[in-house]
Amino acid sequence: MNLDGEVVNLAIVGSSSFYNFEVFEENVEDWISRYGYPDLVIVGGASGVDYMAERWADANIIPIAVFSEEWDDPARSLVDRGRAEAPNTLTEKILNAATHLLAMPSPTSKWTRVVIDQAQGRRISTEVREVDYNDQ
């Protein structure tokens, strides 16, 4: 629970092909400077942003919920291996658990933009940080 008494379940979603941890960490730290540390980090278990969020939460001793069972991929990694798009059930699970959303889409992100639209439609506090493959 944050100092203001609000429970913050932060869903972090984004490009599965973005791997720059320095840019990722700057985005998360900027978010924290305004909202405080989350009580829980929620991710979809994909590569790229999801994978970096798992590592960041682990390093910062923040509990994490990984909905990796939505993927038929037991060998998750940082690098995208070209699997299919995320199922709709993953979007529902993430948004049902989230109080806040930090999204890091790239110019080619489709699923991340769907999550952003749905989060805003549900009035979930949403912040979007565009990432670019040139930043890698």
User: Mapped to the 3 state alphabet, what secondary structure does 2-51 carry?
Assistant: CCCCCCCEEEEEECCCCCCHHHHHHHHHHHHHHHCCCCEEEECCCCCHHH
Bridge pairing between strands 9-14 and 64-66: unpaired
Q: pLDDT per residue over 77-135, tens digit each?
A: 445 455 555 556 888 999 999 999 999 999 999 989 999 999 999 999 999 999 987 66
Q: Domain with 73 in it: what CATH number?
A: 3.40.50.450
Decide if 2 is inside a domain.
no
CA 130 to centroid of chain Cα atoms? 13
Give the pLDDT of residue 78: 47
Q: Which amino acid is at 14?
A: G
Domain count, the chain: 1
Give the pLDDT of residue 6: 83
Give the pLDDT of residue 115: 94
Decide if 1 is inside a domain.
no
If one counts every other C-beta atom within 10 angstroms of the C-beta of residue 80, the result is 15
Decide if 3 is inside a domain.
no
The whole domain housing 31 covers 9-135
Q: How much is the pTM?
A: 0.85
Q: pLDDT per residue over 1-29, tens digit each?
A: 566 678 999 999 999 999 999 999 999 99
